[in-house]
Structure 1
Amino acid sequence: MSLCAALVAGEVSGDLLAGLLLGGMKQRWPELRSWGIGGPHMAAQGFRADWPYEKLAVRGYVEVLRHYREIVGIRRALKARLLAQRPDLFIGVDAPDFNLDLEADLRAQGVKTVHFVCPSVWAWRAGRMAKIRRSVDHMLCLFPFEPALLQAEGIAGTFVGHPLAGVIPQQPDRAAARRRLGLAEDAEVLAVLPGSRSSEIRYLAEVFFAAAARVARARPGLGVVVPAVPRLRAEIEAAARRAGLAEGLKIVEGRSHEVLAACDLTLIASGTATLEAALFKRPMVIAYRMNAISWQIMRRQALQPWVGLPNILLREMAVPELLQHEASPERLARALLDWLDAPDRMAAVQTKFDALHHALRRDTPQLAADAIQQVLQA
């Protein structure tokens, strides 16, 4: 069976998830044709990107407003193209602010729609349920508790596991990762991940590097490594210089999984990368800063006391979260040093992350393809 699928992924993590999904779909439908908005992981599966995912990689209310006209123009042009070419299926990969409205329009015109990654209605913006019900024929869920929540609202969903849990080894090889990155095998290594969006680098990078500099002064010999999105490398290097961490800092382009495998702990921006760090069994300090207005809006809509995915999934504050004004260099450095000074605490959280990894590991490509096939046959 020949299948034409249009997909939209709006950031680095969505491109990675969509690439894994497309790999499974190609096994089921070898003649798959796919196009839309995406990045290099999708392109590696034969996907044709009519727009790069970077066009949608904007976070926060104020930040979105700055790019609103361009984003709306892209959605309008893509919708027209989709209705003219009418793929067999549209799959929105995360990016709910962009994808749900588009999916609602397409579904109303008879195009079957699947959404991959359930919006965090269990964490904030529960009012989205009505929009999801209008927009989505089927939801592919990353977490086991989500299908029941959706079913209660009349929305079909399938737990497909988290594809990263199948990609990331249950026992990462730290020594091999360090050899590949040129890091000393016996050194303490801190990974700094300030995000993959330009706005995140602007709000987080210098603060993160200032914290890392404090930790390095307290722990002589500490290695600091950053996996940089190539297009943001110059901004990251400039932030490191301003923070006084230009010397002794190792910046690599991409390779975030190798960096997480190699490190002892990480200072990391809230987002999908925190789950990746947990799957690599790495203790972490989660932090985030954004425009003050965006922060006030998001804080009022929060439904849970946690923002980091590891804490949400474990239902406890297993790792520290320092947000907005609390994410100062001093407090971040102290939280990192508290980990390094407590090896038993580090071992305990690694045990929790190991159990979480087992819970999320499924044959995601096959389960997702099974669900997609049911949608196509309905």
Structure 2
Amino acid sequence: MDLGVVAGEASGDLLGAHFIAALKQTRPGLRAAGIAGPRMRKAGVEAIYPSDTLAVNGYVEVLRHLPELLWIRSRITRYFLHERPRVFVGIDAPDFNFTLEARLKQAGIPTVHFVSPSIWAWRPERIHRIKQAVSHMLVVFPFEEQIYRDAGIPVTFVGHPLADVIPLQPDTAAARTTLGLDAGPVFALLPGSRLSEVTRHARLMLDAAVRILRHHPDAQFVLPAASEAAGRLVRHAMQGLELPLHLLDGRSHDALAACDVALVASGTATLEAALFKKPMVITYRVPALTAYLMRKKALLPWIGLPNILARDFVVPERVQEDATPENLADDALAWLDDDARRAAAIETFHTLHVSLRQNASARIAEAVQPYLEGA
């Protein structure tokens, strides 16, 4: 085997697909296997387990799924130790991957980790565990490089693959035509890719949409469901509501390109919304115990990637008890009524996009190639 790989959830699957495609440009016969989602399988990765088996977050949810996660990690570790790939690449899923990477590295298999955990936002002590587990760290944000250099960990800033594939000037009119949307304001609702996130956020966003509709009777709403199961949860949450909602099968980029404002669950989707230059409201809910523990360990006042990267509250964040339909609706409507604020946010997002647009897939392939060649 050339490459062992583990990607967690939908965002890791998307990043991994770009990464595999770049490697295959120079190694068309590349054999890769591990934990992969539909995009990586389409790129040619043999999926021993599907990515969504790792799509859990928060202390409470992880504890609930811990026996299954430990069993899968034990099985996939034995698989890689038997197959001995030339290099292992862990894509995100840090809590799962770092233990696996440490075991493989100890056995003489080089380990590359793609996408640093947010040690600059919380739990900075993880840097010591990372040093034991990772042969080479690939980071997507420029400020992360110095953190790893200072810790003595080989590191390469590669930029973000999404910044390469999302156009600097998205075509909103074309996206609206593709989705069959009428004239009037368009709001994108992105409750998250994990089923637990959809359960917590879908009805919250739909109730906010009802309130928006009272102020703008011509408003339309698009909600990209990350999976069939997510779509079922959204349809269940829709019961009793009358909304001009376009429920999409995936197609989050079409939804973001088409919208005027987005309501987005914190995560990679907030960065995607920023790259599409869309004003947004970031929200997130977790169990109370998880929220308490995370607040105690937090280093920054922001949770959303656009705000973290800008080091400012460019967009509003509504978290936990502050995440109400009224607040989300008011924040979304405020974007429509303030041209100057909207223009300033778009300019900030454009600057961010340019800084992350580094031909990431080629940089990743260049960093991993020496390991594939046994160097």
Same fold (TM > 0.5): yes
Output the TM-score relative to the length of structure 2. 0.98
Deviations 1:122-163 (A, max 9, x none): 011101000100000001110011111111011111000100
1:147/1:156 contact within 8 Å kept: no
1:10/1:95 contact within 8 Å kept: yes
- Indicate the residue corresponding to 1:60 in structure 2: 58
Distance in 2, matches of 1:240 and 1:348, equals 34
Distance in 1, matches of 2:199 and 2:41, equals 28
Matches within 5 A, 1:171-190: 171-184=169-182, 186-190=183-187
- Indicate the residue corresponding to 1:201 in structure 2: 198
Cα displacement (A) at 1:240 = 2.1
Distance in 1, matches of 2:148 and 2:224, equals 36
- Indicate the residue corresponding to 1:363 in structure 2: 359
Q: Does 1:212 align with 2:209?
A: yes
User: 3-state DSSP class of the match of 1:214?
Assistant: helix
- Indicate the residue corresponding to 1:49 in structure 2: 47
Distance in 1, matches of 2:371 and 2:79, equals 22
Cα displacement (A) at 1:231 = 2.2
1:137/1:375 contact within 8 Å kept: no
- Indicate the residue corresponding to 1:240 in structure 2: 238
Matches within 5 A, 1:130-279: 130-184=128-182, 186-229=183-226, 230-242=228-240, 244-245=241-242, 247-279=243-275
- Indicate the residue corresponding to 1:301 in structure 2: 297
Distance in 2, matches of 1:241 and 1:250, equals 15
Cα displacement (A) at 1:249 = 1.1
RMSD: 1.0
Distance in 2, matches of 1:187 and 1:41, equals 33
Pairs aligned (count): 373
Distance in 2, matches of 1:290 and 1:217, equals 29
Distance in 1, matches of 2:229 and 2:195, equals 9
1:281/1:353 contact within 8 Å kept: yes
Unaligned runs of 5+ in 1: none
User: What letter corresponds to residue 208 of structure 1 in structure 2?
Assistant: M
Distance 1:343 1:241, change over 3 A: farther
1:208/1:267 contact within 8 Å kept: yes
- Structure 1 outlier segments of 4+, above 6 Å: none
- Indicate the residue corresponding to 1:286 in structure 2: 282
Cα displacement (A) at 1:365 = 1.5
User: What letter corresponds to residue 163 of structure 2 in structure 1?
Assistant: A
- Indicate the residue corresponding to 1:31 in structure 2: 29
Cα displacement (A) at 1:241 = 2.0
Cα displacement (A) at 1:375 = 4.1
1:138/1:375 contact within 8 Å kept: no
Distance in 1, matches of 2:28 and 2:198, equals 39
Output the TM-score relative to the length of structure 1. 0.97
Distance in 2, matches of 1:30 and 1:249, equals 42
Distance in 1, matches of 2:118 and 2:257, equals 27
**Counterpart among 319, 323, 343 of residue 323 in structure 1:** 319
Distance in 1, matches of 2:196 and 2:41, equals 25
- Indicate the residue corresponding to 1:121 in structure 2: 119
